[in-house]
Every structure is written in structure tokens, then in C-alpha cells.
């Protein structure tokens, strides 16, 4: 099994997860409603932390549930955990092994807060601390860079959102998600041809806002892990508060700019960066206006609701990083200095 084969598995993985975990999501949502949960605290690291960013926007926007991302060192190094009254405490981890994430859920149970684990290992220490479990069921992910486990985590987050307050339209959109991811995989040939332009790229910025703040973070992480590019993720709003000063002619700007609430603002910024600073723009979008601006346009499938589009948009970003690394002669199966399971305190 290779990184590429795991990327290509994602439609099958997502279809299986959405069907298999729907009942678990319904049970969790019912129990949480009875507990009068008022906010959520999410503990995660790496790609799973980026899935937590997605939850922050999704549960906030669609379920009106405030979400905070945990500082696990408060639970471990400082032994000063915050009060968790009214919280749902969520641990997201592919392996479910990292002691600091497990410690957050253990403390939540000690305080009497409900706990949820989203993991690919239902026998893990993290799962053992959870009142509710979403088994992402991706099968083994042997490549160090997370791909199918990441999109499965996003889908699990979306399942809970729909169970907490979705209707028939939202459930139908979830049912179509795997097909949309399959359509995104069809970009592979265009991406493989395009990455040669960026073979010598050493640094870049990755822009995404709202639901796609998580996509910007995950794309930048994959660029670092696989292609050894110093990639910095930003919300366009934060980018304009200083970091934009680094951008000049030819500087690579990678933008996730599909249809949705941030589109008009992002399009205006990208037009300015292309016209006034002559950046080298890679645009992931389903909108002609954004694609026409880009030196490298990557057309996303149309018709995906904004709240689900991060599951789809990250797939061509994964392929971009895979083929960029291969074009540089790098071993995508064994990125230097990394292991599949990372245990942190």
C-alpha cells in the first residue's frame, strides 16, 4: 500500500464511514442534547488538529456551538486543567495513542464532562476514555502522511453536526460526498503536469478562510511533510495584517477559494496580489473568476455545499503535494525524521 493508493481509497472510505457511523452520531447527539452541552473543547495534534479547526467552524456555524481547541500542556506539563463545566470534550487522533490527548479526555471524565473520541483504532487508550466513539474505520494507513484518516475525521465531524441539527437536505449532501471526492481525484493528471512549475519552490503561503481555514493548514502541513516546503497558512484577514509584506513578484500563493461566504473578499485579494505583486497563484476553486486569475488553476467539482467542501478540496491538495515531492525525487513513503505514531506530552 502506498500514499497514492491511500489517497485514491478516500471515496470508498467516506461512503463506508457515513453509512456505518450514522447511528453512533445519532446516539451521541441525543445524549448530548439531554446533557445540555453548551460548548466543545477539542484536543488533537497534527492533521487531527486541522480536523479540529474544521469542527470549530462547522459546529459554530451550523450548530451554534462554541468550540475551543485545547492546550494539552495545561493538562500534562502544567497540571492545571481548565474547568470543563458544560463542555463536550473531544479527542481526535488517528492512532488514539498520544498521551497528552488521552490525558485531556481522562481529566474531562474525572470532572464529569461527556467525552467523544474520533479515531481509527477503537481499542486505543483514547477510545477507552470516551463516552462516545466514532470509529473512522479507514483500514490501515501505512503512509506517514495522513490522507484518508484526515478526510474520515472531517466526515465524522460533519456526521455529528448533521445529527445535532441537520435535515434531509444535509443528509442527502453527506450521501453525495464520496462521489464528489471521486470527482476531485480526476484532477490528478492535470496536477502531475502542473507541479513541475514548482519543483524549485522553497517557500509559499497558503490562504483559506472560514471552513477552509482548516484546508489551508492541512495543505501547508502536507507541503512541509512531503515536499519539505516552508509553507505558511493564513486566513486572508490575518494575511493582510502584516504577513502580506513578504509577497513580491513570482512568490507562490496557494489559495483555497471555492464558492461560499468568503469568496468575494478572497477574490478581491487575489486579484490585487496578481495585478499589483505578480504572484504565482495556484487556485483551488469551483468558480471561473478565481480559476482565470491563476497561473495554475485546479477546478473543484461544482455543487458541493460550502460546509462539506473541505472534505473535497483537500484531496487535490494532497495530490499536489504527492506529485511535487515525487518531482523532486523525494520518498513520500518515508519523510525524513517522521514516524506514523507520534506520542507527545
Rounded CA separation 149/140 (Å): 9
Rounded CA separation 225/321 (Å): 9
Rounded CA separation 194/173 (Å): 31
Domains recognised in the chain with CATH numbers:
3-175 (3.40.50.10490), 186-327 (3.40.50.10490)
For residue 229 the three cell numbers come to 516546503
E strand or H helix that includes residue 311: helix 309-327
Spatial contact of 105 and 121, defined as CB atoms under 8 Å apart: no
One digit per residue, pLDDT tens: the chain, 345 residues? 799 999 999 999 999 999 999 999 999 999 998 988 999 999 999 999 999 999 999 999 999 999 999 999 999 999 999 999 999 999 999 999 999 999 999 999 999 999 999 999 999 999 999 999 999 999 988 888 899 999 999 999 999 999 999 889 999 999 999 999 999 999 999 999 999 999 999 999 999 999 999 999 999 999 999 999 999 999 999 999 999 999 999 999 999 999 999 999 999 999 999 999 999 999 999 999 999 999 999 999 999 999 999 999 999 999 999 999 999 999 999 887 767 566 676
Produce one character per residue of 181-218: b if its CB has 16 or more CB atoms within 10 Å, e if not: bbbbbebbeebbebbeebeebeebbbbbbbbbbbbbbb
Q: Angle, nearest 10°, between helix axes 10-20 and 148-165?
A: 30
- What pLDDT is attached to residue 328? 96
Rounded CA separation 124/117 (Å): 10
Contacts of 34 (CB under 8 A, 6+ apart): none
Give every strand in the sheet of 39-43, ordered side by side: 67-69, 39-43, 87-93, 115-119, 132-135
- What pLDDT is attached to residue 345? 63
- What pLDDT is attached to residue 344? 72
- What pLDDT is attached to residue 141? 82
Work out the angle at residue 104's Cα, subtended by the Cα atoms of residues 28 and 218, and round it to the nearest 5 degrees. Answer: 80
For residue 238 the three cell numbers come to 490575518
The residue assigned the cell 492541512 is 218
- What pLDDT is attached to residue 54? 98
Amino acid at each position: 500500500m502506498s500514499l497514492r493508493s491511500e489517497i485514491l481509497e478516500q471515496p470508498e472510505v467516506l461512503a463506508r464511514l457515513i453509512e456505518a457511523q450514522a447511528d453512533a452520531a445519532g446516539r451521541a447527539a441525543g445524549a448530548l442534547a439531554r446533557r445540555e452541552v453548551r460548548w466543545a473543547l477539542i484536543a488533537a495534534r497534527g492533521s487531527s488538529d486541522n480536523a479540529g479547526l474544521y469542527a470549530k467552524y462547522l459546529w459554530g456555524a451550523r450548530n451554534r456551538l462554541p468550540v475551543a481547541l485545547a492546550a494539552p500542556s495545561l493538562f500534562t506539563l502544567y497540571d492545571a486543567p481548565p474547568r470543563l463545566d458544560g463542555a463536550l470534550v473531544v479527542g481526535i487522533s488517528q492512532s488514539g495513542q498520544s498521551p497528552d490527548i488521552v490525558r485531556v479526555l481522562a481529566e474531562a471524565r474525572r470532572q464529569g464532562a461527556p467525552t467523544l473520541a474520533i479515531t481509527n483504532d477503537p481499542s486505543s487508550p483514547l477510545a477507552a476514555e470516551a463516552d462516545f466513539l466514532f470509529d473512522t474505520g479507514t483500514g490501515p494507513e501505512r503512509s506517514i502522511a495522513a490522507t484518508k484518516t484526515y478526510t474520515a475525521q472531517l466526515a465524522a465531524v460533519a456526521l455529528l453536526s448533521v445529527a445535532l441539527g441537520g435535515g434531509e437536505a444535509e443528509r442527502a449532501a453527506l450521501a453525495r460526498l464520496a462521489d464528489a471526492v471521486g470527482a476531485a481525484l480526476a484532477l490528478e493528471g492535470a496536477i502531475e503536469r502542473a507541479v513541475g512549475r514548482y519543483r524549485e519552490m522553497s517557500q509559499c503561503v497558503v490562504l483559506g478562510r472560514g471552513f477552509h481555514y482548516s484546508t489551508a493548514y492541512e495543505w501547508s502541513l502536507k507541503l512541509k511533510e512531503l515536499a519539505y516546503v516552508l509553507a505558511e497558512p493564513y486566513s486572508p484577514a490575518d494575511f493582510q495584517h502584516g504577513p502580506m509584506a513578504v509577497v513580491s513578484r513570482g512568490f507562490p500563493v496557494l489559495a483555497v477559494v471555492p464558492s461560499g461566504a468568503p469568496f468575494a473578499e478572497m477574490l478581491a485579494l487575489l486579484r490585487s496580489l496578481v495585478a499589483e505583486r505578480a504572484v504565482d497563484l495556484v487556485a483551488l476553486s469551483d468558480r471561473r473568476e478565481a480559476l482565470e486569475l491563476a497561473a495554475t488553476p485546479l477546478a473543484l467539482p461544482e455543487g458541493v455545499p460550502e460546509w462539506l467542501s473541505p472534505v473535497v478540496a483537500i484531496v487535490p491538495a494532497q495530490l499536489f503535494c504527492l506529485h511535487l515531492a515525487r518531482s523532486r525525487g523525494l520518498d513520500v513513503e518515508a519523510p525524513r525524521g517522521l514516524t506514523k505514531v507520534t506520542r507527545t506530552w
